[in-house]
Amino acid sequence: MTRILLAPDKFKGSLTALQVADALRDGMLSADPSLGIVSLPVADGGDGTVAAAVSAGWESVEVSCLGPTGLPVETSYARRGTSAVVELASAVGLELVDSLDPLGASTFGLGTVMAHALSAGADHIVLGLGGSASTDGGAGMLQALGARIRGANGNDVARGGGALRGATRLDLSGLHPTLHGARIQLARDVDNPLLGPTGASAVYGPQKGAGPQDLLYLDHAMKQWAHVVRSAIGRDLSGVAGAGAGGGAAFGALAVLGADVRPGIGTVLDLIEFHRRLATADLVVTGEGSLDEQSLHGKAPIGVALAARSAGVPVVTVSGRRTVGTDTLREYGVVDSYTLTDLEPDTDTSMRDAADLLRRIGEFIAMSPAIRSTIRTSEGVS
């Protein structure tokens, strides 16, 4: 029996990673019911990270928190034993915002979810940082965890990155009691620092609604925040690669919570025990909505492909569209690549009908003589 491991990321704007896997699975089994198929959706630390953990058997825990602009949000995190997976995107992410607020948006809700996990006994939190709607340097997260950020008048400053321009002191005496001894692990796929022309404000602020004057104001606010944090902890981590991830939430976690950092996709593959599932696979199918140059820099499909290549398992990619050449993909162990635009050139239609198109692609993969030949070669080698 041919064993196929389906490990796609989401097709953003169309389908979740699990829905992508389900559609491919339906198509494959309709063409060949004898296939042994395991679905293991993946993510790279952004939205879908909690869902990937839950699909792999982690418990889903429902939580209420405040979204990025202060409106109530129902979200969840994943729990297994004393470990928890918390996702910034599902608590204070850009997708939750109807009206952008670049100066006032906050990560306070993220801290609320973390506090819930800590109070429930978690001593290891994996924090996915993609998809942020705010640029507050993690200040809101820390406020929700018990920190006090004071202004010159001694009062607490308001939430949001813009207010940090008036911050003068950080009081950490009230931090959540179980943070001491807890391990915070950041899953991120960017290496931007907090400040400057490649920092959180300059690079990611525009997509959160920040205009030219807002960007200058936010960068000045982040400089003041970095100064206040340095005064409180005795060191400056604003220049660390990746400190700008999640609108600077990584900076707050690194500096104040003593977090460590790992690439997002590597972290997720460990959480879902991908390598154990890979050991019994003859073929891996992965992909995402847009397979492009950015995918080559830490995105989920390439991380999956590299892991499969190291195990000698051939890989097929499926995407909505693809701008990376097949020769480049072969360097990562990819033996074939399919796109929805091969079947439906109109982008709007292919996004709307993504599930149906993926089922057709699943049939193609199951019946492809070239792929079956690759699998037989792989089986023969092993």
Domain boundary residue, one of 265, 293, 326 = 265
Q: Is 154 exposed, middle or buried (0-12, 13-18, 19+ CB in 10 A)?
A: exposed
Environment class of 203 (CB within 10 Å of its CB; exposed 0-12, middle 13-18, buried 19+)? middle
Does position 15 have pLDDT exceeding 90, yes or no?
yes
> Average pLDDT for residues 293-322, to the nearest whole number?
93
Give 380's pLDDT tier (boundaries 50, 70, 90). Answer: very low
pLDDT tens by residue, 111-127:
999 999 999 999 999 99
**Is residue 29 located within the same domain as residue 59?**
no
Q: pLDDT tens-digit profile of 77-90? A: 999 999 999 999 99
Residues 237 and 339 in one domain: no
- Number of domains comprising the chain: 2
CATH of the domain at 244: 3.90.1510.10
Residue pLDDT, tens place only, 229-274 = 999 999 999 999 999 999 999 999 999 999 998 888 999 999 999 9
For residues 193 and 243, the answer to whether their CB atoms sit within 8 Å is yes
Q: Is the pLDDT of residue 378 over 70?
A: no
Q: What does the pLDDT read at residue 262?
A: 87
Q: Domain span at residue 63?
A: 49-265
Amino acid type, 188: R
pLDDT digits (tens, 9 = 90+) for 124-176: 999 999 899 999 999 999 999 999 999 999 999 999 999 999 999 999 999 99
Alpha helices in 35-194 (DSSP H): 49-55, 88-92, 108-119, 139-144
What pLDDT, on a 0 to 100 scale, did the predictor assign at position 369? 83
**Block residue for tokens 């850009």:** 94
Write down the pLDDT at residue 248.
Answer: 97
Whether residue 251 is found in the same domain as residue 335: no
pLDDT in tens, 332-344: 999 999 999 999 9
Average pLDDT over residues 17-22: 97
CATH (domain of 368)? 3.40.50.10350
CA 196 to chain centre: 24
Residue 372: pLDDT over 80: no
Same domain, 126 and 199: yes
Higher pLDDT, 368 or 354: 354
pLDDT of residue 296: 87
Do 241 and 286 share a domain, yes or no? Answer: no
The residue out of 265, 285, 310 marking a domain boundary is 265
pLDDT band at residue 382 under the 50/70/90 scheme: very low
- Whether 306 contacts 329, CB under 8 Å: no
Alpha carbons 25 and 19: distance in angstroms, whole number: 10
The share of the chain scoring above pLDDT 70, in percent, equals 98
To which H or E segment does residue 73 belong? strand 72-80
**Do 252 and 151 have their domain in common?**
yes
- Percentage of the chain exceeding pLDDT 90: 89
d(CA 59, CA 130): 21
Beta strands in 225-294 (DSSP E): 260-263, 283-291
Q: Number of helices and strands (H, E) in the chain?
A: 16, 13
The whole-angstrom separation of Cα 331 and Cα 95 is 34
Say whether both 258 and 293 belong to one domain: no
In this structure, the strands spanning 167-171 and 124-128 are: unpaired
Same domain, 32 and 106: no
Boundary-marking domain end, from 247, 265, 283: 265
Helix, strand or coil, per DSSP, at residue 319: strand
Residues 6+ apart with CB under 8 A from 331: none
Confidence class for position 375, pLDDT limits 50, 70, 90 = confident
Tokens representing 143?
């406020």
Average pLDDT, the chain: 94
pLDDT at 8 over 60: yes
Number of Cβ atoms within 10 Å of the Cβ of 17 = 28
55 and 135 together in one domain: yes
Q: For residues 52 and 26, what is the distance between their CA atoms, to the nearest angstrom?
A: 19
Q: Strand pairing of 283-291 and 315-322?
A: parallel
Nearest to 337 by CA among 293, 310, 370: 370
Whole-angstrom distance, CA of residue 75 vs CA of residue 272: 20
pLDDT of 376 reads: 54
Are 118 and 167 found together in one domain? yes
Supply the pLDDT for residue 381.
41
Domain match, 219 and 295 both: no
Question: Does one domain contain both 254 and 359?
Answer: no
Q: What's the average model confidence in pLDDT over 19-46? A: 95
